[in-house]
Amino acid sequence: MSPEHRRVTRSRQIFVTASAVFCVVGTLFGTGVIGTRVAESSGGDLAADATLIAPAGTAFSIWSLIYLGLLAYTIRQWLTPFADTPRHRVTAGLAAISMILNALWLLVTQVGWIGLSVLVIVALLLTLGLLAARLLDRPEPGISEFVVVDGTFGLYLGWVCVAVCANIAAALVGWGLPSEGALAVTATIVVLAVVVAVAWFLGRRLGGNWFVAAGITWGLVWVGVARLTDEPESVPVGIAALAAAAAVLFVTWRGSQERPADRLDRGNHRDYGNHGDHGNHGNGRGGEPRPVGPGAPDATASTRPTPPTAAPAGPDPAPSPAGPAAEPVPPPAGAEPAPGASTEPDRPRES
């Protein structure tokens, strides 16, 4: 490893670690250790009973798994075998940004800026979605990679899909929209349908990622439990939330049944600037060959030389009048030369 390469790797490790430390600071504020608990911040608009789509308090225990995974990820990226893999190079920055946005969201809600918190959590959702797509496009074997990296960020993305909806609903209620009534129930059911649509898209794009599905399903189940057993009570919303959770599992299963070639084509074979894999750019899979078969594009069509076209069998075509004169055809063996014809071969004309 060259000194420049080593410097870049070390800078990446420090950036991820600093982001994790900032995330811990934000969490200390959000849990009330050195600040106000999230449920009590922003005027109580983020509490479990503030809106119809707010999950029960038990749902937030998923953060224990997510934070444990982020800690393991931060430590693991200092270990030599994982410090500079092609996959880590294209995802470490996004992982760090996700931790920064997480902490920023907790700090923004501390001061009651719930409108700004919506923008932050949407940015977090987009960051995690891009990160999950890059993880899929750069598969890497190993149980620790699967659990610590794919598992952590899959659960993280799934939970944030539900949290975004709850955050937007809390902002709307904080701005004066009713939290109960026919309009609120209808709007919440529509939002639950949107969550299922997002899960369907992620299931197709990410090939049926069960970690993502688990995060979404966990949040939706606890939304249903909260509406059926707690305030504000709403049987239609509770049933719709549980049905949405079942639908998420179904669309994820359907996504897992798709051919890898179909998912690869939808990914547009992105190149994320992994300069350690020269020659593999354009397939987006770290060097895996693109699929072949009926309807599959030929990845080598732009570089394979075109073979010359064979001439058709049959007699030679007649020479073009404008082309060079054809060489004389010798007479058959034993034939008498024509009267006056020369029997000597042609000699070059002197100039």
Model pLDDT, residue 256: 86
Measured CA to CA, the distance from residue 116 to residue 125 in angstroms comes to 14
Nearest to 98 by CA among 39, 165, 20, 29: 20
- How does pLDDT run across 213-265, given as a tens digit for each residue? 999 999 999 999 999 998 899 999 999 999 999 999 999 998 888 755 455 55
pLDDT band at 20 (very low <50, low <70, confident <90, very high): very high
Question: Could you tell me if residue 44 is inside a domain?
Answer: yes
Q: Does any domain span residue 307? A: no
**Does any domain span residue 314?**
no
Q: What is the pLDDT of residues 172-217, one digit of tens each?
A: 888 888 888 899 999 999 999 999 999 999 988 888 899 999 999 9
> Is residue 343 assigned to a domain?
no
Residue 336, pLDDT score: 53
For residue 262, what are the domain limits?
3-266
> Does residue 334 form part of some domain?
no
Between 80 and 207, the more confident residue is 207
The verdict on residue 325 lying in a domain is: no
If one counts the domains in the chain, the total is: 1
Q: What is the pLDDT of residue 329?
A: 54
Contacts with 77 (C-beta within 8 Å, 6 or more apart), sequence order: 12, 13, 16, 83, 88, 92
For the whole model, what pTM was predicted?
Answer: 0.73
The Cα 71–Cα 75 span in angstroms is 6
Q: Contact, 287 vs 271, CB < 8 A?
A: no
pLDDT band at residue 300 under the 50/70/90 scheme: very low
d(CA 55, CA 47): 9
CB 254: neighbour CB atoms within 10 A?
Answer: 13
Dist CA 38 CA 132 (whole Å):
27
Confidence of residue 125 (pLDDT cuts 50, 70, 90): very high
Which range has the worst mean pLDDT, 19-28, 49-58, 315-324? Answer: 315-324
SS3 content of the chain, % helix, strand, coil (to 5): 60, 0, 40
Strand stretches in 126-197, DSSP E: none
User: What is the average pLDDT value for the chain, to the nearest integer?
Assistant: 80
8 lies in a domain? yes
Q: What's the whole-number mean pLDDT along residues 76-100?
A: 91
339 has pLDDT over 60: no
Give the least confident one: 7-11, 47-51, 89-93, 250-254: 47-51
Residue 318 reports pLDDT greater than 70: no
Cβ atoms of 115 and 103 within 8 Å: the answer is no
Among all chains, which residue has been given the structure tokens 């798709």? 258
| Residue 158 maps to a domain | yes
